[in-house]
Each structure stands twice: as structure tokens, then as C-alpha cells.
Amino acid sequence: MSRTEALPLITAVLVFASVLFLFAAVFLYVRGKRDHYKMIKKIKADGEVLRGERMEQSHMPVGVDEQPILKFFETVGERIQPEKEEAVRRGSLDMLRAGFRKPNALPVFWGMKCASAVFFATAFLVLEPWLAGNPPPARMMLYTLTFVAVGYYLPDIWLSLRIADRKRIIQDGLPDALDLLVVCVEAGMSMDAAIYRVGEEICLENRELSDELMLMNLEIRAGKLRRDALKNLALRTDVEDIRNLTALLIQADRFGTSIAGALRVYSDAFRTKRRQRAEEIAARLPVKLIIPMALFILPSILVVAVGPAAIQMLRIFMQR
């Protein structure tokens, strides 16, 4: 095909591509504007709702009385729950740290552990001819017990991951909450009113930390001492920065020192600690990059650098 014959085809392709990109740009622009307006509308609606009476209550998970399967798990969990008080207390604390505050959260979790163990064992027995190929009875029993143990402890792993993720979210939202708390206290608000206002303001940004602060405020309004409410906050969250903050506030309240000054000092120390934590993560980065570089980057470099020479040597040896 000559250049004169190919010119209309090239022009048509360019025009088609230009129109296609134009429509794609218009579509992306309109969709971005629509999502922007929907987000603004949602923020305004949530803000109006959160200003109301809903902020007076702690955010609870869905009740098991509305879900029959969870009611079944609760019944099973109540029958297999351990009798040791220490195990029950530790399990209840884990539920609180995971964000489940319903009284029946722990029996539901134990029931799910039992159901998971039965499910894994049943799945292995059904798929056993394809997985193990009819092993001897002793090995069959060992495999079954292994799958029962995996199913029983798998919810524990999920719970640990959920607790770790919730602690990370709370720790990430603590700097902004602390800055707001310093501003509120220095503006003349009392400590309880400042905690309530901070919990109300950060609800859209960090729901977990807002829930904990609002629950602490409810405990204080119910008549519990502030130091006890602060200790419960540190116990529920299990975040080191919050433990240090609560210890600082308890000492300031006990000795009558300025809470605003103590918060200002802790805020500066917290920023320094956060910068040191970021520097520590950055210092560990080269060590973590060794394995990816050795597995993915180094072979490519070797192929590019040594490949032509290896091909040339292979040709020379083949000619001989």
C-alpha cells in the first residue's frame, strides 16, 4: 500500500481515536463530578444525623436476635463455653478490642469456632477420596483431627487480625484527635466536654476512635470516675499511645496540674515519636527490598548484561 492510499486510513484511525478519547474524557469528568456531589451530600446527611441523638449511643454490631444463624451459634457457644472465669474474661476483652460490645458476642464467637471445626472436618471427609486417596485408618484419623484443629483455631486468627487492624486505625486517628483535644481544652472547655466534642467531630473520619471516646464519655456521665473511665479506655483499645495519654491525664487530674499544658507537652512528644517511627520504617526498607530485588530485579539485570555474551559464546562453540 502506497503512502497516498494509506493516508485516508490513517486519518480515519486518528479521528476515531480522537473521538473515543473525547467521549472517555467527558465520561470520566461527569462521573467524577457525580461522585463528588454524592460524597458532599452524604457528608452533609451524616453530619446532620450525627449531630442528633444517635451520637448519644455507642455503635453496636447487628443484634443476633435478628439473625437466626447467629442465634444458633449463640446457643451452641453457651453449651461449650469454658468454665474458667479467666478464659471468659480474656475472651470478653478480646471481643471489646475487636469492636463487638454485645453481651452475647463471646458465645456467638465460640459457636462459630465449633461450627468451623465441624465444617472443616466434614469437608475433608467428603473430599477425602480426591485429597488423600483412601489412607490407612490411623492416618485418616490424624488428617481429620488436623482439619478439626485448623477449623477451630481459624476464627482466633481472624479475631487477632481484626484486633490488630482496629488498633492500627485507632492509632492512625489519634494525632488528629489529640490536636482537636488540645484546641478544645485551651479554648476553655472542660475535659469531659472536650472529649465529647472530639468524639463527635472525628466520627466520619475515624469511627473506631470516635466510638471509644463516646463510650468513655457515657461512662463518665453515668457516674464513673474519670480515672476509671480512662483506664477502661486504655484497656479496651490496647494501644500504647492511648495508655501513655491516659496515664498522663490521670496524673494531671490527681496532682491538679494544667491539663492543657500536659496535653500540649504530650502532643509535641507524640509528634517526635511518630517521626521516629517513620524513620525506623524507612530504615528497615532496604533490608526488606533485598528479597524482591534478588528474586525479580537481579535475574533481569543478569539476562540483559550476560545474555548477549552467553549467546555469542554459544554460537562460537557450536561453530566448532
Model confidence pLDDT, tens digit, residues 94-128: 998 998 888 888 888 998 898 888 888 888 887 77
Residue 40 has pLDDT above 80, yes or no: no
| Grid cell locating 5 | 492510499
Torsion over CA of 108, 114, 120 and 123, rounded to 10 degrees? Answer: -90
Q: What is the pLDDT of residue 11?
A: 66
Residue 58 has pLDDT above 60, yes or no: no
Burial annotation 185-219 (CB, 10 A radius, 16+ → b, else e): beeebebeebbbbbbbbbbeebebbbbbbbbbbbb
Torsion over CA of 247, 171, 86 and 221, rounded to 10 degrees? Answer: 60
Return the closest-CA partner of residue 171 out of 208, 140, 116, 203: 208
Give the three-state DSSP class for 257: coil
Mean pLDDT of 27-31: 76
| Residue 9 pLDDT grade (very low, low, confident, very high; cuts 50, 70, 90) | low
Q: The pTM is what?
A: 0.68
Burial annotation 230-239 (CB, 10 A radius, 16+ → b, else e): bbbbbebbbb
Residue 27 has pLDDT above 80, yes or no: no
Q: What is the pLDDT of residue 46?
A: 60
Q: What is the pLDDT of residue 164?
A: 93
Give 77-87 pLDDT, tens digit per residue. Answer: 888 877 788 88
Calculate Rg over the CA atoms of the chain.
30
Residue 17 has pLDDT above 60, yes or no: yes
Residue spans of the domains in the chain: they are: 22-53, 64-168, 173-287
Give 159-209 pLDDT, tens digit per residue. Answer: 999 999 999 999 888 888 888 888 888 888 888 888 889 988 888 888 889
